[in-house]
Chains A and B, each alone.
Chain A
Amino acid sequence: MSNEGDNEDVDHELRVSKIRDGTVIDHVRGGQALNVLAILGIDGSKGEELSIGMNVPSDRLARKDIVKVEGRELSQDEVDVLSLIAPDATINIVRDYDVEEKHRVERPDVVEGVLSCPNAACITTGNEPVTSRFTVLEDGVRCSYCETIVREEIASLIDT
């Protein structure tokens, strides 16, 4: 393996500069790249080197986003959480310009401390010493405390 991303998308890949060491998150649904960064807590303020391609044509998804993070390998937990907003994503770990590992994201059973509950009447929205916890459903997430189900707009719950 010597190319970042899938071969069919290689032309479009080149629009986003190659990285030496780090992570390429490919096949993110079009328009979700900034939410991917939010969920990973990356905002560029710590000097991270980022490349983002948004709404580039793709064979698998009509339009996709690509996020490249130089100098950082994502943990499995981070990858799992990504699945909530980027269920089709592929994760390429790049070392010395080569893709060394390639993963599909997998939906976790539970996500903790990542999303905040949209229900204003939920105990987790006050000043209690409690970490948010959501169980992951087939088509959404559910607050483990107030049981509110969120199907769309999960990205808007990302606790930043």
Chain B
Amino acid sequence: MRHDHLITSKQLSRADIETVLDHAADIAADPSAVADRHAGTLLGLLFFEPSTRTKMSFETAMKRLGGDVVDMGSIESSSVKKGETLADTVRVIEGYADAIVLRHPKQGSATMASEFVDVPLLNAGDGAGHHPTQTLLDLYTIRENAGLDDLTIGIMGDLKYGRTVHSLAHALTNFDTRQHFVSPESLRLPREVVYDLHQQQDGTGIREHESLEDILPSLDVLYVTRIQRERFPDENEYQTVAGEYQIDVETLEAASDDLTVMHPLPRVDEIAPEIDQTDHAAYFEQAHNGVPVRMALLDLLLSDDGTAGPDGTDDTSGGDLDE
């Protein structure tokens, strides 16, 4: 099946993921080979929620492929303020751009928007729902640091509202992974996500914990997310909870020397800056990987014939998003 839109990591098979990651690795090795592949192509950026990093990462990726972006601009200055529906907005932008990247605060917005357009639509985050391109760059980083099979990963922090977590957890079920979810009781994985993970993997590779302590020594990867202040009505309650899900060099004494620490960024204080200097830290590398991964994805989605080789020729090993 060829995917016209990328809405959720659930639509990605292991073969799809490997196609994108392999192509991203080729691009990272030789970016000049794809520098003009998409000259004249315009990517529409619709960000109904501010997200400097994701937006700049897409913008950089498109420009490095020789294309350009058209940007809706800030929400305040757009027609959205006047009450235009998302369905109308995407139908208008479809006329300007060859593909659309959408970030929107409502869950399911990307699914709905994709029903109104024929150009490829990429979900760059829909509320607490999905963030599949983040997942691809996360998987790329995990593969580079720890491999994707026989992997034990801890995912810690705000698992309830963390869309990057939901997307990543689902994608990881395609591989031989054991997933440990570490969070306060109030921020556990939504039951919808647990339902999907059990559907996908019989729940055998899935464990939920309130404390990192017991499982830390067994982890190859620790994926940390931010616990947001605004999730707690009471500042003291936030301080108490957040404090338990912060890591520093002392915390990591119990970890394997090979532990890879990741974070979708931005971080506040959940990872002490002293960890940045250690071999564990992979979060800046992770952020940088967003560009080649998004270049690979855009190249695959925007190539008419569905095949995209790093040298600009048809290259079946570069592959398309077909299974």
Contact = CB atoms under 8 A, between A and B. Distances in A.
Interface centre among A123, A143, A146 (most CB of B within 10 A): A123
Contacts of A124: 108, 112
A143 B108 contact: yes
A145 B115 CA distance: 11
Contact of A149 (B85, B127, B128, B192): B192
B111 interface: yes
A130 interface: yes
Contacts of A144: 108, 111
Interface string B172-197: 00000000000000000001100100
Q: Please classify the interface of chain A as helix (H, G, I), strand (E, B), loop, or mixed, using the class held by over half of its residues.
A: loop
B108 A122 contact: yes
Contacts of B112: 123-124, 128, 130, 145
B107 A128 contact: no
Contact of A146 (B87, B108, B115): B108
B85 A146 contact: no
Interface residues of B, number: 20
B143 interface: no
Interface residues of A, number: 18
Interface string A30-62: 000000000000000000000000000000000
Interface string A111-154: 00000000101111011111000000000001111111100000
A147 B107 CA distance: 8
Nearest to B115: A130
Contacts of A128: 85-87, 112
B4 to A, nearest CB: 17
Interface in B63-106: 83, 85-87, 104-106
Contact of A123 (B83, B106, B128, B195): B106
A122 B86 contact: no
A122 B127 CA distance: 9
Nearest to B129: A146
B109 interface: yes
Contacts of A130: 87, 112, 115
A123 B111 CA distance: 9
A145 B111 contact: yes
B108 A145 contact: yes
Contacts of B192: 142, 147-149
B111 A119 contact: no
Contacts of A142: 192
Contacts of B127: 121, 146
Contacts of A149: 191-192, 195
Nearest to A147: B192
A108 to B, nearest CB: 20
20 contacts: A121-B105, A121-B127, A122-B107, A122-B108, A123-B104, A123-B107, A123-B111, A124-B108, A124-B112, A126-B85, A126-B106, A128-B86, A128-B87, A129-B85, A130-B87, A143-B108, A146-B108, A147-B108, A149-B192, A149-B195
Given A123-B126, A130-B115, A146-B108, 15 more contacts: A119-B107, A121-B105, A121-B107, A121-B127, A121-B128, A122-B107, A123-B108, A123-B109, A126-B85, A128-B85, A130-B87, A145-B107, A146-B106, A147-B108, A149-B191
10 nearest interchain CB pairs?
A: A145-B108, A146-B107, A146-B108, A123-B106, A123-B108, A123-B109, A123-B112, A128-B85, A121-B107, A145-B111
